[in-house]
Structure 1
């Protein structure tokens, strides 16, 4: 069977977090750059499909292609390390410190941003023939997205900020579920399917992903979107990063860690059911059941 049991893939999550804490600066930056660039290209592809076909659902169905590829290639997204790296610290792995976690987050952020910004420039360039003509239909749509998802939130004040934050939490709840999905299977097809489903959901629902936004909003600014860098940082990127931390770490990383890596001892029953003790793989051996004492 290619399915990996929760207690096993949770241990793999902690191991992965430990490795990322100790990864060299060079490797962390390169992996971050490539992940940001590939995800940006995937976002550009999804927007292009949506504009040309008129189907947002089709764009969302195809968007996970980039996400799946970058994780199969071993590259790192900020949203993923938000979930995995702190587990090494919580599990008291050797050499895992608060400083090490923050160092990893900072380097991956820089790498992701550089990769996404590079693709933002390239897409802006090709949709305007070197900034010599007005952006094409796809370029216009990219500019509209940046404006709607900054000034659109600002118009509602505190309620807009809360809406943004909750969309960010829901986003990385789903994206990090996709990250873990890659560890649920030992087959490439199984990994791809488990990653595809939650990532498609986040994109179609319009949740806010910090790395995707590192592409969308700079592209919008380059293509004449009616918002500022300050609007982007205050009314999107900074709250998005915070919300993504909460969504990934709390609802995915910690929930799996607490229930599968640091579980409570199983409760004992007064009577053992005919099929054996709950949680015990008896394999038809009555001796296994006999090991559970009566209350």
Structure 2
């Protein structure tokens, strides 16, 4: 009898803890943010990046570029000797996802991420022609390149990588530069490929922001990155990592060829893919749902 009474008492206590003060069941909260909250978070991150002192912006851009070279190296290392194409792409993508995870978690400033964050902020704020916005965009791009070259130089000086790595790297560079032989058509193909690449990276930022724990953020980063690496879509920040190693280890391509026949058209495509197809598209779609201090006051609010 005593055991039965204890069981009844425990059951009663459980029911009480499962109900709130109004008598409804207190269900656990969501483990992710809904889309309107994600877009709102984009805008706030864009504002925070823009309001940092210039030295912080530039240092974080250099850090992000550094992580791109680390990701490029890891993607090549994991793929060495793998002959099965699907596994090759999977391992290569997982390797590069490490670089992006370091960028997203550390708060570093990556050009292709800014293409998503800043338009979300600017969409809800007047005064788009302020010089500091474009100064920030340009300094981020330059900082990413400097960071990528810096790490590539350190790795070359360390003499840590073996000959199979450079053989595999040469194959990666050929895939990135194959458009160069197509003339104007190839330039346009890179631009379109860049649109797709930053569309995917924008969704990586979307999924990463949605997650509330570190595991979810890693998974959110990984899936779109594996896809863009496997598809050989031209992502300017990622290519900075590969090209930095290529400039210092091979004379097959000149530095200006990397810039003119890949980075410039890819960067233009990245701006379109991240800024329009992710940031502005979702900002417009969810503009009625976004509750943020960034935008204009709603009609019900007092001005």
- TM-score w.r.t. length of structure 1: 0.80
Structure 2 counterpart of 1:143:
170
| CA 1:128–1:221: 2 relative to 1, 3 Å | farther
Q: Write the distance in 1 (CA, Å) between the matches of 2:64 and 2:144.
A: 6
Partners of 2:236 and 2:267 within 8 A in 1:
yes
Shift of 1:69: 2.2
What SS does the corresponding residue of 1:2 show, helix, strand or coil? coil
Structure 2 counterpart of 1:166:
192
Shift of 1:148: 4.3
Q: Write the distance in 2 (CA, Å) between the matches of 1:127 and 1:52.
A: 20
Structure 1 counterpart of 2:105:
72
Q: Quote the RMSD (CA, aligned, Å).
A: 2.1
What SS does the corresponding residue of 2:234 show, helix, strand or coil? coil
Shift of 1:61: 2.6
Shift of 1:214: 1.4
Structure 2 counterpart of 1:82:
115
Partners of 1:171 and 1:244 within 8 A in 2:
yes
Structure 1 counterpart of 2:272:
246
Unaligned runs of 5+ in 1: 130-134, 264-295
Structure 2 counterpart of 1:28:
57
Shift of 1:144: 4.0
- Say which one has the larger Rg: 2
What SS does the corresponding residue of 2:210 show, helix, strand or coil? coil
Instruction: Identify the match of residue 56 of structure 1 among 82, 89, 93.
Output: 89
Partners of 1:83 and 1:176 within 8 A in 2:
yes
Q: Write the distance in 2 (CA, Å) between the matches of 1:96 and 1:27.
A: 22
Q: Write the distance in 2 (CA, Å) between the matches of 1:85 and 1:101.
A: 9
Task: Out of 54-63 and 191-200, give the one that drifted further.
Answer: 54-63
Q: Which structure is richer in relative contact order (CA contacts within 8 A, separation 6 or more)?
A: 2
Structure 1 counterpart of 2:211:
185
| CA 1:146–1:124: 2 relative to 1, 3 Å | farther
Q: Write the distance in 2 (CA, Å) between the matches of 1:62 and 1:148.
A: 17
Structure 2 counterpart of 1:19:
48
Structure 1 counterpart of 2:3:
none
Task: Out of 69-78 and 136-145, give the one that drifted further.
Answer: 136-145
| CA 1:27–1:258: 2 relative to 1, 3 Å | same
Partners of 2:191 and 2:267 within 8 A in 1:
no
Q: Is residue 111 of structure 2 the alignment partner of residue 111 of structure 1?
A: no
Partners of 1:2 and 1:190 within 8 A in 2:
no
What SS does the corresponding residue of 2:134 show, helix, strand or coil? helix
Q: Is residue 65 of structure 2 the alignment partner of residue 6 of structure 1?
A: no
Q: Write the distance in 2 (CA, Å) between the matches of 1:147 and 1:227.
A: 9
Q: Write the distance in 1 (CA, Å) between the matches of 2:229 and 2:270.
A: 14
Deviation digits for residues 127-184 of structure 1 (CA, Å, limit 9, x no counterpart): 588xxxxx7121233234334433x212111221122111111100001111122211
What SS does the corresponding residue of 1:75 show, helix, strand or coil? coil
How many residue pairs match? The answer is 257
Partners of 1:147 and 1:227 within 8 A in 2:
no
